[in-house]
Chain A
């Protein structure tokens, strides 16, 4: 399938899912109320659809797209189908940044959480890629990711431990579980800037990602400015992850699963998989948020919980398949 046709197909599915996610929710409407919402956006049904649900869907789509693109970029950069911001610990350290900002009372300062999350993602992304240059085996990469995640988790536990009040602990916990509840249009616009820069950097690194198929040394001799493209890819993926964490907390496995949904359709090409991965990530998260909202539980499920419940088995399956190829 041509990448353009695939993207158009994914886009149609995403629009369909987004419309469904705006129409469906805890509060049910009849046809007349939907028509009223369209004709009079300020009416009560219009308020629910356009002020509560639509910005939430937009944020879920943005965060999903960011994570899908970041995952595809990291998989290409590290030449590993198990790489994603969550598995490599980038999300955990980004979440730590946000947790520190919340626990230290900086949440009231505009942009503080976002900046802290971005700084955490950039620091972890830079560290992972620097160390990975010395580790060639995929098993070592996963172990490194486990170590970075564990360290991020330990420091986050320290934040809980030293938090000044139970309220602060609850706020940090809610953030870390991931959610797009109560997001408004301003939140989406704020997330859009770093995400757009991150996406541009990742797409610019696309040729380098494809060249890395040959391995580090052949790519270095290929005539492409690999050092620069590597920086683009790391900075882009980290910006996308940081913006996603800032916008919706820590949401795992979307970055891992989204590229695998579309990889076979672009013949495994690490460059052509970028756009479709972003769209697949957006689709996944819009549907996951809809599932969270429609779950028959008393408390709404957190988005990060839903993606982890579905994503962990996907990760296990991919790891099992990958381990077979390592043994081959």
Chain B
């Protein structure tokens, strides 16, 4: 099966700082991959370089069976949907219109219909006609998640999609992304909550200083050694009936 996203040996710089150093990642259809690491480790840079938003100094990116550089902007949008970390919106549009911006390939009426369905899916059906700047941060996050789902792309990339959300909304967001994966999409998320990352992702990548330092199934990727070296935590992921939970204290 062709991978949904292949990043191979990516290097990137911002100013004088090397933000990515030979970072590689393969995302298959149907899996949820989590990217974790301390602040400034290079999680967002990895996503941005992999999407062509941050210039690379080395490495290759493939979206499905095509190199990123060979794709038109339309073809790229058909292959990947992106939810950036920055959730600021410029204008006070109705939620359904914001969500419909994910479907520029459709006529406006069809895009709105898809947007309304996705809003209902993220539990924001009743917000469809409300203005986004009059919503709480959590409500707005749901609208933007619906916008991501409206893209109907086979690869969904979300940068900190649960930041600032209450626990229920965090779980709902990750459950929805899981459902997209079960429908065949490849999903990549950056997360700070290691317990949720371990519970909701099939595979984790741990990044530090722009390098992938650990990769694999959650419990293996977040071994006590990795927790100590990368996150400066003394502890381990503990299996519970609700899934793995991080039990740790600062070193």
Contacts and interface: CB of A to CB of B under 8 A. Distances in A.
A268 B104 contact: no
A211 interface: yes
A268 B101 contact: no
Interface string B84-103: 10101111111001100110
Interface residues of B, number: 31
Nearest to A220: B53
A235 B182 CA distance: 46
Contact of B90 (A79, A220, A222): A79
Interface in A163-198: none
B143 to A, nearest CB: 11
Interface stretch (A19-27, A34-42, A223-231, A247-255): A223-231
A236 to B, nearest CB: 19
Contact of A217 (B84, B90, B105): B84
A217 B94 CA distance: 21
Interface stretch (B75-83, B167-175, B226-234): B75-83
A212 interface: yes
B51 interface: yes
Interface residues of A, number: 23
A313 interface: no
A224 B101 CA distance: 10
A61 to B, nearest CB: 27
Contacts of A210: 101
B89 A214 contact: yes
A212 to B, nearest CB: 7
A215 B84 contact: yes
A204 interface: no
Contacts of B66: none
14 contacts: A211-B104, A213-B91, A214-B98, A214-B101, A217-B53, A218-B82, A218-B101, A218-B147, A221-B51, A221-B53, A221-B76, A221-B77, A222-B102, A223-B74
Interface of B: 48, 51, 53, 73-74, 76-78, 80-84, 86, 88-94, 97-98, 101-102, 104-105, 131, 133, 144, 147
